[in-house]
Amino acid sequence: MTLNCNGKLINLGEPVVIGVINLTKDSFYSGSRLQNDNALIEKCKQMIQEGAQFIELGAQSTRPGSLRVSARDEVEVLLPAIQVILASIPGALLSIDTYHSEVAIQTIAAGAAMINDISSGEMDPAMIAAVATLSVPYVCMHMRGEPQNMQQHAGQGNIAEEVLSYFIEKKQECKNAGIKDLILDPGFGFGKNIHENFVLLQSLSLLKMLNCPVMAGLSRKSTIYKTLNTTPENALNGTTVLNTIALSNGAHILRVHDVKEAVETIQLWQAYSKTKTPRL
């Protein structure tokens, strides 16, 4: 599998890492919040040096209970950040976390290379058509409801069957619109309870039948820190464990706050997977 990112082909024959940077004070994990140019540039350089293939920028929180931020407010934050990063790190591949089509259009024009939409076009019906005209990879995520009310929908129905059926339809919709590079994200934590998140992780390999790259966004989420009775700040070890399981079940992309540890997870998982057991 490959992704065409502004003319640069990214090979997904081996798993890759997306490093997350939040340009908002409302992110659930304090370690991903950056709000000055020097810190932003240094964090991007660090993530790329550690092995991140993409840097993802978000200008609003999508944690449970968060409120919508307008497209105008997102653009005012994202465009200067893109300009600063690309001026210091030419060629950096930037993914933009947004569900606004206007934000997608303006950020790609500014030099970003991919759009990650938590709503898969549900929160802005113009998004899928817009991404098709932009000719960039598009991350479709499964979410029940919207961030401000999504946890009210948790525990309803067979989550594995629901996610698979959703992506079968969404893939066809994106194909019909003209999107060529589609990435599927099952949306861990977005309208799912802890039990459903573990079921979804166990069932991740079902998405292989759709022949699209699969992204796992488990980093420091509540399924980890609530199960371990800890905090997001102390959920790195648990993140590594679940990322390993995700890789074993077919994930092509890990979306993380901690790039070095995710890259090492991939390296060890690959070494393990390629090891041939001698006959006894």
Sequence letter at residue 165: S
- Retrieve residue 132's tokens: 């098709």
Where does the chain have alpha helices with state H?
Answer: 37-50, 71-88, 101-109, 127-134, 159-177, 194-202, 222-227, 236-248, 259-274
* Burial class (CB within 10 angstroms; exposed 0-12, middle 13-18, buried 19+) of 172: exposed
- Which of the residues 144, 192, 220, 221 is marked catalytic? 221
- Which of the residues 68, 175, 255, 276 is marked catalytic? 255
- What is the spatial order of strands in the sheet that 54-58 belongs to? 182-185, 138-141, 114-117, 94-97, 54-58, 16-22, 253-256, 215-216
CA dihedral for 200, 203, 207, 213, sign (positive or negative): positive
CA dihedral for 80, 83, 88, 91, sign (positive or negative): positive
β-partners of residue 16 are: 253
Give the number of other CB atoms < 10 A from CB of residue 225.
19
43 is catalytic: no
Instruction: Supply the angle between the helices 236-248 and 259-274 in degrees, to the nearest 10.
Output: 40
221 is catalytic: yes
- The catalytic residue positions are 221, 255
